[in-house]
């Protein structure tokens, strides 16, 4: 037998449910195997004798290893965004076998779109990036624990940064009950440990991205340090793959959703369809940029006065994504915006003069 066969894989932590259909939509085989490298390789060895295989699966937390194994084996694989396979969720009959069969059928019909698959050499670096974010969240949680405890017992720090040099000296001099002291000491030890781990991660990320043109360009944005620069460069990937700046903005999920029926059309909240870490990194970059870039700060203040603060941040982050697309296309460093001139409003007709 020869020809093209369409494969749908419903990925779970312990099992892979696989359905294979032919070019005319006829069912060829269905089976469940262990979610294991050796088991999947054995399945491939048995089934690729039929002919060319094209595989579809849902892009989820459990699926990356399957995607990369198939790519390494030279298989045409389509990891589809969950929102693009809603037909599975909306069917009145739902089980793993039917999910796998529907994936194969949607792939055969050509209606599935693949999400972006990072380059193999970026896999480990992206793992470092996710570890960095987890460590930052851990340190923030430890700081919040101490801050909440101090508020609970009525201890107010005379220093703005409780965890700075003088703040730490003040904490060390507090006369606390032994029970509270245990909590504070443990959380401070956690903060110190995570801070050192973050320094080690920063060095590893810097070494991994030293030859990345996009990382070099992103670091020219005022306020963007090594961590945010690494997050934006790694999660955006090759920005030039987007044909337009709007397509790049869509990938971030920072564009507003649209609802249209007949002549009525209205916008909604941002879609949040795309890379969540990139979206977070762009918003954080804006918060840092407006602190050091006078032109960006003026623009942000004008937006904040016209719309709510969260919407102003989103608008600035979307604008920054577009700027990064242009930087990647042209290879030019970031150019700071000129400080906008104040808007001069004309006097209303008939207004009294002094």
Domains of the chain: 4-109 (3.30.420.40), 123-208 (no CATH), 215-330 (no CATH)
Q: Measured between alpha carbons, how far is residue 307 from residues 270, 313, 342 in Å?
A: 15, 10, 18
Report the C-alpha gap between 140 and 42 in whole angstroms.
45
**pLDDT tens digits for 299-344?**
999 999 998 889 999 999 999 999 999 999 999 999 886 665 655 5
Q: Are 253 and 275 in contact (CB under 8 A)?
A: yes
Q: Measured between alpha carbons, how far is residue 151 from residues 144, 154, 230, 257 in Å?
A: 10, 5, 36, 41
Portion of the chain with pLDDT greater than 90, in percent: 66
Q: Angle at Cα 68 formed by Cα 325 and Cα 86, nearest 5°? A: 75
Q: Which residues pair with 53 in a beta bridge?
A: 5
Residue where the block lists tokens 């959703």: 257
Report the C-alpha gap between 335 and 351 in whole angstroms.
42
300 Cβ neighbours under 8 A, 6+ residues apart? 286, 290, 312, 313, 316
**pLDDT tens digits for 233-275?**
999 988 989 999 999 999 999 988 776 666 666 667 887 877 8
Residue where the block lists tokens 């956690």: 190
Q: Which residues pair with 260 in a beta bridge?
A: 265
């Amino acid at each position: 037998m020869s020809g093209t066969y369409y494969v749908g894989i419903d990925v779970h932590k312990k099992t892979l449910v696989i359905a294979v259909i032919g070019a005319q939509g006829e069912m060829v085989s269905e089976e469940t195997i262990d979610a294991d490298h050796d088991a999947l390789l054995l399945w491939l060895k048995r089934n690729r004798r039929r002919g060319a295989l094209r595989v579809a699966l849902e892009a989820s937390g459990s699926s990356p290893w399957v995607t990369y194994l198939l790519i390494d084996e030279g298989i045409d694989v389509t990891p589809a965004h969950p929102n693009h396979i809603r037909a599975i969720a909306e069917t009145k009959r739902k089980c793993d076998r039917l999910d796998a069969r529907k994936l194969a059928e949607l792939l055969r019909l050509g209606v599935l779109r693949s999400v972006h698959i990072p380059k193999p050499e970026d896999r480990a670096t992206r793992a470092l990036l996710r570890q960095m974010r987890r460590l930052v969240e851990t340190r923030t949680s430890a700081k919040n624990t101490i801050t909440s405890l101090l508020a609970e017992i009525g201890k107010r720090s005379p220093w703005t940064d409780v965890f700075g040099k003088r703040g730490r000296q003040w904490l060390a001099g507090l006369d606390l009950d032994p029970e509270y002291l245990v909590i504070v000491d443990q959380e401070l030890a956690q903060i110190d440990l995570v801070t050192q781990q973050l320094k080690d991660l920063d060095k590893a990320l810097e070494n991994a991205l030293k030859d990345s043109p996009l990382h070099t360009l992103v670091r020219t944005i005022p306020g963007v340090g090594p961590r945010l620069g690494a997050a934006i460069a790694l999660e955006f990937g090759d920005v030039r793959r987007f044909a337009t700046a709007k397509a790049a903005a869509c990938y971030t999920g920072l564009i507003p959703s649209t609802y249209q029926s007949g002549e009525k059309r209205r916008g909604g909240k941002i879609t949040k369809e795309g890379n969540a870490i990139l979206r977070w990194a762009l918003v954080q970059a804006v918060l840092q940029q407006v602190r050091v870039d006078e032109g960006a700060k003026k623009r942000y203040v004008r937006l904040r006065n016209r719309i709510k603060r969260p919407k102003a941040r989103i608008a600035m982050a979307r604008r920054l994504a577009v700027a990064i697309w242009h930087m990647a296309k042209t290879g030019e460093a970031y150019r700071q915006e000129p400080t906008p001139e104040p808007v001069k409003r004309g006097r209303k007709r008939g207004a009294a003069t002094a």
